[in-house]
């Protein structure tokens, strides 16, 4: 009986369909999502791509990358980057980790900013945020992606564009099986496991 009670929460979690919940959550958390997006945009440097995932309030995955790969004059110079001067990553690190601290200091992310990001993400039921966004669109870049938690080997992200897309770009995006539309500015992207499909199950 005890084993059954312990398994029950896991069974409930495995039955949830995050590919549907992600749209319900947007409708319920729209204001919080855009407050977070605006705050993150206001504290990000212009020439670096940033990814932060909160595993807990004090443990994060963190990555930095030069934003303009082709313009070396725009690159931020620091010894923390790899031998090519482009990339820095720390996974599953406590905020006191020395290498992680160096990366956070480079972009002037102090504990107050991290706490604000954590609370913003919690309020909109997300766990990661990034301005390193790639889409099938060549002429219009997204500004921010927000990670929506799932309990499976796939990920869901809100992709928020700087402005509304025109109908041609929308058609290009939603013709891709990895994307679904929320509105003309916000989309959801599905990404499967390493050896699985990157398509929404109902678009395969």
- Taking only the tens place, the pLDDT of each residue in 32-90 is 999 999 999 999 998 999 999 999 999 999 999 999 888 899 999 999 999 999 999 99
Angle in degrees, 0-180, between the axes of helices 18-43 and 111-123, rounded to the nearest 10: 150
* pLDDT band for position 138 (cuts 50, 70, 90): confident
Supply angle C-alpha 148, 68, 184, rounded to 5: 45
The verdict on 32 and 51 lying in the same domain is: no
pLDDT score recorded for residue 12: 45
The answer to the question of residue 9 being in a domain is no
Q: How many domains is the chain partitioned into structurally?
A: 2
The verdict on 79 and 174 lying in the same domain is: no
pLDDT score recorded for residue 15: 58
The verdict on 131 and 203 lying in the same domain is: yes
Q: What is the pTM of this model?
A: 0.89
The verdict on 27 and 70 lying in the same domain is: no
The answer to the question of residue 5 being in a domain is no
The verdict on 22 and 50 lying in the same domain is: no
The answer to the question of residue 10 being in a domain is no
pLDDT score recorded for residue 2: 45
Q: Is the pLDDT of residue 14 over 60?
A: no
The verdict on 26 and 56 lying in the same domain is: no
The answer to the question of residue 196 being in a domain is yes
The answer to the question of residue 2 being in a domain is no
Structural domain boundaries, residue 80: 46-107
Q: Is the pLDDT of residue 142 over 90?
A: no
The verdict on 73 and 167 lying in the same domain is: no
pLDDT score recorded for residue 5: 43
The verdict on 95 and 27 lying in the same domain is: no
* pLDDT band for position 20 (cuts 50, 70, 90): very high
The answer to the question of residue 177 being in a domain is yes
The answer to the question of residue 37 being in a domain is yes
pLDDT score recorded for residue 70: 87
The verdict on 32 and 89 lying in the same domain is: no
| Average pLDDT of the segment spanning 155-161 | 96
CB 7 within 8 Å of CB 189: no
| Residue 27: φ, ψ to 5° | -65, -35
The verdict on 38 and 55 lying in the same domain is: no
pLDDT score recorded for residue 147: 97
Task: Compute the half-sphere exposure of residue 134: CA atoms within 13 Å on the CB side of its CA.
Answer: 3
Q: Is the pLDDT of residue 22 over 80?
A: yes
């Amino acid at each position: 009986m005890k084993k059954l009670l312990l398994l029950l929460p896991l069974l409930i979690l495995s039955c949830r369909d995050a590919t549907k919940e992600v749209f319900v959550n947007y409708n319920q958390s729209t204001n919080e999502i855009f407050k977070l997006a605006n705050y993150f945009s206001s504290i990000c440097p212009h020439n670096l791509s940033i990814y932060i995932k909160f595993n807990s309030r004090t443990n994060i995955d963190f990555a930095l990358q030069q934003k303009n790969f082709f313009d070396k004059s725009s690159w931020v110079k620091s010894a923390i980057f790899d031998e090519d001067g482009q990339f820095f990553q720390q996974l599953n690190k406590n905020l006191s980790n020395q290498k992680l601290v160096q990366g956070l200091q480079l972009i002037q992310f102090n504990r107050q900013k991290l706490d604000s990001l954590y609370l913003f993400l919690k309020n909109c039921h997300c766990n990661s945020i990034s301005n390193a966004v790639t889409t099938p669109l060549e002429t219009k870049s997204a500004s921010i992606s927000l990670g929506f938690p799932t309990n499976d080997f796939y990920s869901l992200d809100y992709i928020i564009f700087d402005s509304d897309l025109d109908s041609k770009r929308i058609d290009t995006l939603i013709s891709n099986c990895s994307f679904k539309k929320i509105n003309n500015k916000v989309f959801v992207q599905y990404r499967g496991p390493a050896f699985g499909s990157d398509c929404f199950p109902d678009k395969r």
